[in-house]
Amino acid sequence: MKDSHDSELSRREFIGGTGAAIVAANATSLNAQERAGETVGEQALEDVPRSTIALTVNGTEHRIEVEDRWTLTELLRDHLGLTGTRMGCNRGECGSCTVLLDGEPVYSCSTLAVWADGRSVRTVDGLAVNGQVTNLQQAFMNHNAPQCGFCTSGQLMSATALLERNATPTMQEIRQALAGNLCRCSNYNAIVEAVQTAAATGGA
């Protein structure tokens, strides 16, 4: 006849045995999942379409193999080390990732790297030369246009494109050119004033 001690032991044994079984079952299932994951991962990596593209970035020519799914932001930041371009929303809404593609502002998060093949890209990293900031960058500093600064590189690139095609923009034209660049700090007046000052003192 079993006493309460036996019954306690039995429960322990049962729980212990069940626990071991659960651990073993989970380990088996995890191993199987890991193996499956590795296989899927390896296959996925091998199957990713790739292309070799040639492009000029801030005046430097690059010939590079890219995955066809890479965005221009990924290429610039993760593979060319140009981290001045910021990634905000990553879905074409905020403009923080703005770069110039053949002189025109584009959202690099919504532009595939392969679309830049044979083209010229300019990023904020290429504005200052030998540590000398551009007139526009200096105007941004003078007007305290960067607050947290997250939107600044995108704002600078849109404003650079504007001033290069229109040396004397009106206030309305500046606002229009920067309409695709959101500033979460809401420092819009200072940003527009900085672009106005740059236009009045020598352009971009």
- Residue 54 carries which DSSP code? E
Interface with ligand FES, residue 83, by CB under 6 A: no
Q: How far is the CB of 22 from ligand FES (least distance, A)?
A: 45
Nearest of 135, 133, 145 to residue 178 by alpha carbon: 145
Rounded Cα distance, 48 and 41, in Å: 11
Return phi, psi of residue 121, to 5°. -115, 135
Q: How far is the CB of 186 from ligand FES (least distance, A)?
A: 8
Which segments within the chain are labelled E, that is strand? 50-57, 60-67, 98-101, 104-107, 120-122
Interface with ligand FES, residue 190, by CB under 6 A: no
Judged by CB under 6 A, the residue of 84, 146, 160, 169 near ligand FES is 146
Nearer to ligand FES, 138 or 147 (CB): 147
Interaction pattern, residues 88-127, with ligand FES; x per rule: CB under 6 A: xxx-xxxxxx---------x-x------------------
Rounded Cα distance, 85 and 70, in Å: 15
Rounded Cα distance, 95 and 153, in Å: 9
Going 100 to 147 to 134 to 63, the CA torsion angle's sign is negative
Judged by CB under 6 A, the residue of 141, 149, 171, 176 near ligand FES is 149
| Binding window for ligand FES (CB under 6 A); candidates: 45-53, 75-83, 131-139, 183-191 | 183-191
Interface with ligand FES, residue 204, by CB under 6 A: no
Chain residues binding ligand FES by CB under 6 A are: 87-90, 92-97, 107, 109, 146-151, 183-185, 187
